[in-house]
């Protein structure tokens, strides 16, 4: 089970911005880890039939990963990230299912009864843009402009 460090949650924030001028062929949902720690990332979204959660991407410090390839089809996406080196996480209020190893899980109901963990994901409003990047930052580091 993941330890939630309240201080860490309050002191670390997520900065989201639109990638301007990106060719539609390169439209993606990306996450950049601007911290000095390794992080594990899971994403949640609504596909045509149901809610889906997927993970884990292991993102090195000062590196980026593409979580969804191609044009985004939804306005809202959900992110959960764990700091592997210092503990703590980036979370929100939207509950989705996860598990300890790589996963793709359809549905957000009855996570525990179905043998999964429950995690609270942070909502990301893309404003219906076709490409989006989330930046995870340390409390001592200013986000890129």
Q: Residue 14 and residue 42: Cα distance in Å, rounded?
A: 14
Q: Residue 47 and residue 54: Cα distance in Å, rounded?
A: 12
The residues near 2 (Cβ < 8 Å, ≥ 6 apart) are: 82, 89, 117, 119
**What are the domain boundaries of the chain?**
6-136
Q: Encode pLDDT of 106-122 as tens digits.
A: 999 999 999 999 999 99
Predicted pLDDT of residue 144: 53
Please give the distance of CA 36 from its chain centroid, rounded to a whole number: 17
- For residue 28, list its beta bridge partners: 69
Considering the chain, what is the average pLDDT of its residues? 82
pLDDT score of 63 more than 90:
yes
Of residues 55 and 8, the one with the higher pLDDT is 55
pLDDT score of 13 more than 60:
no
Q: Taking residues 122-134, what's their average pLDDT?
A: 93
**pLDDT category of residue 47 using cuts at 50, 70 and 90:** confident
Predicted pLDDT of residue 4: 42
Q: Residue 14 and residue 96: Cα distance in Å, rounded?
A: 19
Q: Taking residues 15-41, what's their average pLDDT?
A: 71
């Amino acid at each position: 089970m993941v330890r939630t460090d309240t201080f860490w949650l309050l002191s670390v924030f997520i900065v989201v911005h639109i990638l301007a001028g990106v060719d539609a062929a390169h439209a993606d949902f990306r996450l950049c880890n601007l911290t000095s720690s390794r992080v594990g990332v899971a994403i949640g979204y609504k596909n045509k039939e149901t809610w889906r959660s997927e993970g884990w991407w292991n993102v090195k410090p000062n590196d980026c990963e593409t979580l969804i390839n191609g044009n985004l089809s939804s306005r809202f996406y959900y992110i959960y990230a764990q700091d592997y080196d210092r503990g703590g996480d980036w979370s929100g209020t939207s509950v989705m299912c996860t598990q300890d190893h790589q996963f793709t899980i359809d549905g957000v109901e009855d996570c525990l009864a179905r043998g999964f963990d429950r995690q609270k994901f942070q909502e990301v409003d893309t404003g219906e843009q076709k490409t989006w990047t989330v930046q995870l930052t340390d409390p001592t580091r200013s986000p890129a402009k």
